[in-house]
């Protein structure tokens, strides 16, 4: 923990298990291509990147909070609220305004999470479980028991028309967000402060890092990513509902941990998250093509999360010890 080398943590695939992670993705893709008829087609690659666009943005925001050793449980509800605000404010003609309104609301939520966290010094899990529930209630109030529609289908097709064969504007936007986050963490002072805070907040603070500013940035970015994901999804579907983000928190947490972000903070990189999201997306896409029901996907996603958190924790350390009999003395 004390040997802080930013470069080691920010390799393209991130962390020590980078090669393993990339291998897992390749194995998953190859296996599904062989087992499932339509998995390897360009059409399915496009569909895969469409789900990547949604999950990727949400996971990226969540991963930033995990990098500082905290956790934003409100991302799932924020996706629903973001989508609902976009369509309610935007109507048919002002969707961009709707997106801005959703973004403004997300900034307020992120500020609230970060400032209450910095003020009360409670676990961020406690504060964001509150915002998760409050935002869930707010989403139901916004939707008023209905599904909100928009008549503007042009914006949706602008976002979803395929580009370069397998991408769309929506998935390219998500990839751009990953590139921006990579740049932020690798080349800016703020990025280094984020990793330092995650490694050891007290030490970072003692060396002059404003940890409050770091918390504000990551929680605002996390809410913004979720809200943007919700806006884009609602425009692309031309509908928004209060249940839109239901299983996203689960998937995003799994993807981030598979991507090598440690729950303890300070460890992991954007590249790893990218691979983690792709692994989870490929898994769900493949299961879907195999005809798995929503219930069995829920079951599978929960199981995946449980296994990865177990490996992230004491069980993983124990397995590592088995592999390497001489324990590391300096930690």
Partner 1 sequence: MSHSISRTSTAKDQRVAPMKTPSSSLFGRWLGPERMQATGVKVAIIILFIWGWATIDNFASSSNLHAIMYSVAAIGIAAVGMAFITLSGNLFMLSMAATAALSTIIFASFLYLGLVPALLIVALVGLIIGLVQGVVVGLGGVNPIIATIAVASIVMGAGALYSGGLTIVGKGDASWLGVGQLGVFPNQLLLFLVLAIAAEFVVQRTRFGRELRLIGLNRTTATLAGIRVGRTLVLSFVIAGLAAAIAGSLFASQAAQGNLKLAAGLDFDAIAAVLVGGVSIRGGHGKIIDAAFGALFLAIVSNILLVKGLSFEIQLMVKGIVVIVAVILGALAVGLRKS
- Please, which residue, 136 or 156, has the CB nearer to partner 1? 136
- Please, which residue, 107 or 298, has the CB nearer to partner 1? 298
Residues 129-148 within binding reach of partner 1 (CB under 8 A): 129-130, 133-134, 137-138, 140-141
Q: How far is the CB of 25 from partner 1 (least distance, A)?
A: 21
**69: Cβ–Cβ under 8 A, 6 or more apart, which residues?**
197, 198, 201, 264, 265, 266
Q: How far is the CB of 68 from partner 1 (least distance, A)?
A: 15
Q: How far is the CB of 163 from partner 1 (least distance, A)?
A: 34
Q: Is 168 helix (H, G, I), strand (E, B) or coil?
A: strand
Q: Is 193 helix (H, G, I), strand (E, B) or coil?
A: helix
Q: Which two tokens stand for residue 290?
A: 């195999």
Look at the alpha carbons of 214, 224, 17, 323 in this order and tell me if their dihedral is positive or negative. positive
Q: What is the distance between the alpha carbons of residues 111 and 216, in angstroms, rounded to a whole number? A: 6
Length of the chain: 331
Provide the mask over 242-281, with x wherever binding to partner 1 is found by CB under 8 A and - wherever it is not: -----x-xx--x---------x------------------
Give the residue from 66, 67, 101 showing the smallest Cα distance to 86: 101
Contact 260, 21 (CB under 8 A): yes
Q: How far is the CB of 140 from partner 1 (least distance, A)?
A: 6
CA 116 to chain centre: 22
Q: Which two tokens stand for residue 243?
A: 């249940």
Residue 301 contacts partner 1 per CB under 8 A = yes
Taking CB under 8 A as the binding criterion, the range among 78-86, 184-192, 232-240, 312-320 that sits at the site for partner 1 is 312-320
Residue 20 contacts partner 1 per CB under 8 A = no
Identify the residue among 202, 294, 326, 328 touching partner 1 (CB under 8 A): 294
Residue 117 contacts partner 1 per CB under 8 A = no
**91 backbone φψ class: left, alpha, beta (φ>0; ψ -120 to 50):** left
Q: How far is the CB of 73 from partner 1 (least distance, A)?
A: 7
Contacting positions for partner 1 (CB under 8 A): 71, 73, 116, 120-123, 125-127, 129-130, 133-134, 137-138, 140-141, 247, 249-250, 253, 263, 293-303, 305-306, 309-310, 312-315
């Amino acid at each position: 923990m004390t040997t802080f080398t930013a470069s080691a943590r920010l390799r393209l695939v991130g962390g020590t298990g980078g090669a393993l992670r990339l291998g897992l993705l390749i194995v998953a893709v190859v296996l599904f291509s062989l087992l499932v008829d339509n998995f390897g087609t360009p059409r399915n690659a496009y569909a895969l990147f469409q789900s990547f666009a949604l999950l990727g943005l949400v996971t990226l925001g969540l991963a930033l909070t995990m990098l500082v050793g905290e956790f934003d449980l409100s991302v799932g509800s924020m996706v629903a609220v973001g989508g609902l605000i976009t369509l309610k404010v935007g109507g048919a003609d002002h969707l961009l305004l709707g997106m801005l309104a959703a973004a403004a609301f997300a900034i307020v939520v992120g500020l609230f999470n970060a400032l209450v966290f910095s003020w009360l010094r409670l676990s961020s899990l406690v504060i964001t479980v509150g915002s998760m529930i409050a935002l869930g209630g707010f989403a139901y109030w916004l939707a008023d028991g209905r599904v909100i529609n928009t008549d503007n289908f042009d914006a949706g097709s602008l976002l979803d028309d395929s580009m370069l064969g397998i991408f769309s504007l929506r998935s390219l936007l998500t990839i751009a967000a990953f590139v921006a986050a990579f740049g932020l963490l690798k080349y800016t002072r703020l990025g280094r402060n984020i990793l330092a805070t995650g490694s050891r907040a007290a030490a970072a603070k003692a060396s002059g890092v404003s940890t409050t500013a770091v918390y504000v940035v990551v929680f605002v970015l996390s809410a913004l990513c979720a809200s943007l994901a919700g806006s884009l999804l609602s425009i692309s579907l031309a509908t928004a509902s209060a249940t839109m983000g239901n299983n996203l928190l689960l998937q995003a947490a799994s993807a981030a941990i598979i991507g090598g972000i440690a729950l303890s903070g300070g460890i992991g990189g954007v590249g790893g998250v990218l691979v983690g999201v792709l692994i989870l997306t490929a898994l769900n896409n493949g299961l879907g093509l195999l005809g798995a029901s929503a219930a069995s996907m829920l079951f599978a996603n929960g199981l995946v999360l449980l296994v990865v958190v177990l490996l992230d924790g004491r069980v993983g350390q124990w397995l590592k010890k088995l592999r390497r009999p001489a324990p590391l003395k300096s930690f």
